[in-house]
């Protein structure tokens, strides 16, 4: 037995009992051993308590079930019953607002989840849901505690069920700070945002050893499920940072942009950035020639307050941008095509990324501003066989279902299905605007002329001259900026320099928007 596992003594009076309480608490807070703490630090990782301290406002943490211990037997567990059972749970504040937290203590059973450990997490999740406050998990655990068998597995089931029940009710943020296998990877996948730290955190269903045994593939832990893999390739994580301090600071920033729950609006901030600040620079940033690339993040920077925004999934599906920022202090979600990556086309991953973001904004009362410059969906066998139809439908479904204020702005081109999907008026955008450089059409002029004037071009004495003439004709007939405005399909054609002011005034008008969906258990979105 270690000192941690000794039964309480028999103090003779109340003072003695209080002293004993402080002693027990001190043991619980200290954790298993100095050696274990040094080992954690040597891996470039903080302890669970150090992480909680970074996350919450100073002195705001209130711990729950600090003195919990497991009651499992077998495999020597009777002799090893540390306080906390390897997870620290409680609540505190971030910028004065309540946040619930649980943090695995890797020093105890590698942070692995047993029955007592799991029920502590269940309790704190229930409290977060009841209080209507965000839940942040600081994950550094080896998955199900092997010695506790099915009890550990059932513990995960209880977490997954609560993750799902809490989805769209309170913001759930998972911060991955160590090797997280099996169940420890699935719970984060059910939450709204996943943060990772390079080199020290990994997520996988089965580790490299199992992969090698089953498929013969050899790969390192980081190669299989490190931060870069999940930030760039799989899309499992939304944010990746070099160190825990920066990562946890960014969690605080994200929380400042989210409401406490689905019945509240995100917190408004005071903004010194003038509503009517003109953006003449936008005319230079966006080339009139629809085929020339530019960086859409510069446009976002120009129109949001103080150029400040948080990109979600920054390095995955980079042909679309999803970002949270503020306009006149009000939080907005921005979805924008990125013409400098794959010309800003919509493909499978871009559709999935934007669909989840639109859903998140809608769940948490965040108005959506969509900036379009999209040549269409990406054609190709890979895309078709990969199910672009159902993945693209996810984005369509998410927009069609969203009842938050929705404003779209067409900067340059918006062709075909991609135009409809990217929050066109016909699928329920509250306001749609276009710059005078816009081209809205079923497809680009060259492609269109080749289809509808095929015969004339083929039969002409000079087919190339005929093609050029027909392209020009199509452009002047259909692809001028006012074609959509004349039909009421955009609400206004605006001077790009006035974009910020127009968007902010529209958002202000829509602040009191209320829309109900038909009564139903839930929809059946494409998967
Ligand atoms: C539904 C599910 O969750 S299924 C998934 C079940 N979990 C797993 O298969 C993961 C098994 N564990 C591992 O692969 C590795 O321990 C890793 C990758 C998580 C961490 O590796 P390392 O950083 O090298 O740490 P290490 O293996 O030394 O583990 C640290 C301690 O945690 C213990 N531990 C690790 N995983 C578990 C576990 N799942 N259950 C109980 N104890 C565990 C180790 O025995 C070790 O204990 P000790 O300090 O008393 O020796």
pLDDT in tens, 246-274: 999 999 999 999 999 999 999 999 999 99
pLDDT of residue 4: 46
Q: What is the ipTM of this complex?
A: 0.96
Write out residues with Cβ below 6 Å of ligand 1. Answer: 109-110, 112, 142-147, 153, 156, 179, 181-184, 207
- φ and ψ at residue 137, rounded to 5 degrees: -105, 135
Q: Which atom of ligand 1 is nearest to the CA of 36?
A: 49
Ligand 1 pocket test, candidate residues 70, 81, 110, 203, most atoms within 8 A of CB: 110
Average pLDDT, the chain: 94
- Tens of pLDDT along 382-405? 999 999 999 999 999 999 999 999
Average pLDDT over residues 52-68: 97
Average pLDDT over residues 416-423: 94
DSSP strand E in 73-151: where?
Answer: 87-94, 97-104, 135-139
Residue 330: CA count within 13 A, CB half-sphere:
21
- Tens of pLDDT along 307-340? 999 999 999 999 999 999 999 999 999 999 999 9
Long-range contacts of 323-326 (CB under 8 A, 24+ apart): 324/254, 324/257, 324/366, 325/300, 326/257, 326/269, 326/271
Q: Strands 439-441, 135-139: parallel, antiparallel or unpaired by DSSP?
A: unpaired
Using DSSP, state whether 301 is helix, strand or coil: helix
Using DSSP, state whether 493 is helix, strand or coil: strand
Closest-CA residue to 330 (of 262, 398, 266):
266
Which residue is closest in CA terms to ligand 1's atom 21?
179
- Catalytic annotation present for 157: no
> Could you say which of 114, 178, 182, 333 is catalytic?
182
Q: How far is the CA of 40 from the centre of ligand 1 (A)?
A: 14
Q: For 327-368, give the DSSP string.
A: ETTEEEEEEEE-TTSGGG-B-HHHHHHHHHHHHHHHHTT--E
Q: Label residue 238 by pLDDT band (50, 70, 90).
A: very high
User: How far are the Cα atoms of 65, 296, 359, 396 from residue 320, in angstroms, in the given order?
Assistant: 44, 9, 16, 15
Using DSSP, state whether 151 is helix, strand or coil: helix
Report percent pLDDT > 90 for the chain.
Answer: 83
- Catalytic annotation present for 325: no
Q: Label residue 480 by pLDDT band (50, 70, 90).
A: confident
How many CB atoms neighbour CB 436 within 10 A?
Answer: 13
User: How far are the Cα atoms of 94, 333, 336, 406 from residue 371, in angstroms, in the given order?
Assistant: 32, 11, 5, 11
How many CB atoms neighbour CB 130 within 10 A?
Answer: 9
- Catalytic annotation present for 417: yes
Long-range contacts of 24-30 (CB under 8 A, 24+ apart): 24/67, 24/83, 25/66, 25/67, 27/3, 27/83, 28/4, 28/66, 28/67, 28/83, 28/84, 29/66
Query: pTM, whole model, 2 decimals?
Result: 0.94
The dihedral built from the CA positions of residue 493, 494, 500 and 504, taken in this order, carries a sign that is: negative
User: How far are the Cα atoms of 70, 72, 285 from residue 115, in angstroms, in the given order?
Assistant: 7, 8, 57
β-bridge mates for residue 139, sequence order? 176
Average pLDDT over residues 108-114: 94
Task: Determine contact, residues 197/155, Cβ cutoff 8 Å.
Answer: no
pLDDT of residue 6: 56
For residues 251 and 139, what is the distance between their CA atoms, to the nearest angstrom? 14
Q: Which atom of ligand 1 is nearest to the CA of 142?
A: 19
For residues 50 and 98, what is the distance between their CA atoms, to the nearest angstrom? 19
């Amino acid at each position: 037995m270690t000192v941690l596992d000794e039964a309480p003594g028999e103090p003779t009076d109340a003072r003695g009992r209080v002293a004993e309480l402080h002693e027990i608490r001190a043991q619980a807070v200290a954790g298993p051993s100095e050696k274990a703490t040094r080992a954690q630090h040597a891996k470039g990782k903080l302890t669970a308590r150090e992480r909680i301290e970074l996350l919450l406002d100073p002195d705001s943490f209130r711990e729950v079930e600090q003195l919990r211990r497991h009651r499992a037997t077998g495999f020597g567990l009777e002799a090893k019953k540390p306080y906390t059972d390897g997870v620290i749970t409680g609540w505190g504040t971030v910028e004065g607002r309540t946040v619930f937290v649980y943090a695995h203590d890797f020093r105890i059973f590698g942070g692995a989840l047993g029955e007592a450990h799991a029920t502590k997490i269940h309790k704190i999740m229930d409290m977060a849901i009841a209080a209507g406050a965000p839940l942040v998990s600081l994950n550094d655990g080896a998955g199900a505690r092997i010695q506790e068998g099915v009890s550990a597995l059932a513990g995960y089931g209880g977490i997954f069920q609560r993750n799902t029940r809490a989805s769209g009710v309170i913001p759930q943020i998972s911060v991955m700070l160590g090797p997280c296998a099996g169940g420890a990877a699935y719970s984060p996948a059910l939450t709204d945002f996943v943060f990772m730290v390079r080199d020290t955190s990994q997520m996988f269903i089965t580790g490299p050893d199992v992969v090698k045994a089953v498929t013969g593939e050899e790969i390192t832990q980081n190669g299989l499920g490190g931060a870069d893999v999940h930030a760039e390739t799989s899309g499992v994580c939304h944010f990746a940072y070099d160190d825990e301090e920066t990562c946890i600071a960014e969690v605080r920033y994200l929380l400042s942009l989210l409401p406490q729950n689905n019945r509240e609006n995100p917190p408004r901030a005071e903004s010194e950035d003038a509503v009517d600040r003109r953006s003449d620079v936008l005319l230079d940033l966006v080339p009139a020639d629809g085929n020339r690339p530019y960086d859409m993040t510069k446009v976002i920077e120009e129109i949001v307050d103080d150029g400040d925004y948080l990109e979600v999934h920054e390095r995955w599906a980079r042909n679309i941008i999803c970002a949270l920022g503020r306009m006149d202090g009000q939080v907005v979600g921005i979805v924008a095509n990125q013409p400098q990556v794959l010309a800003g086309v919509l493909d499978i991953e871009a559709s999935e990324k934007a669909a989840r973001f639109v859903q998140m904004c809608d769940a948490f009362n965040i108005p959506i501003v969509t900036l379009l410059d999209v040549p269409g969906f990406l054609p190709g066998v890979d895309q078709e066989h990969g199910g672009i139809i159902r993945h693209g439908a996810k984005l369509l479904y998410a927009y069609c279902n969203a009842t938050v204020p929705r404003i779209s702005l067409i900067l340059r081109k918006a062709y075909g299905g991609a135009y409809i999907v990217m929050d066109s008026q016909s699928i329920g955008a509250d306001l749609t605007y276009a710059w005078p450089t816009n081209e809205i059409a079923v497809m680009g002029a060259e492609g269109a002329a080749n289809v509808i004037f095929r015969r004339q071009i083929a039969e002409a004495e000079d087919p190339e001259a005929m093609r050029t003439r027909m392209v020009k004709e199509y452009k002047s007939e259909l692809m001028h900026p006012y074609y959509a405005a004349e039909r009421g399909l955009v609400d206004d054609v605006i001077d790009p320099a006035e974009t910020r002011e127009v968007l902010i005034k529209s958002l202000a008008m829509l602040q009191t928007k209320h829309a109900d969906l038909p009564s139903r258990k839930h929809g059946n979105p494409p998967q």
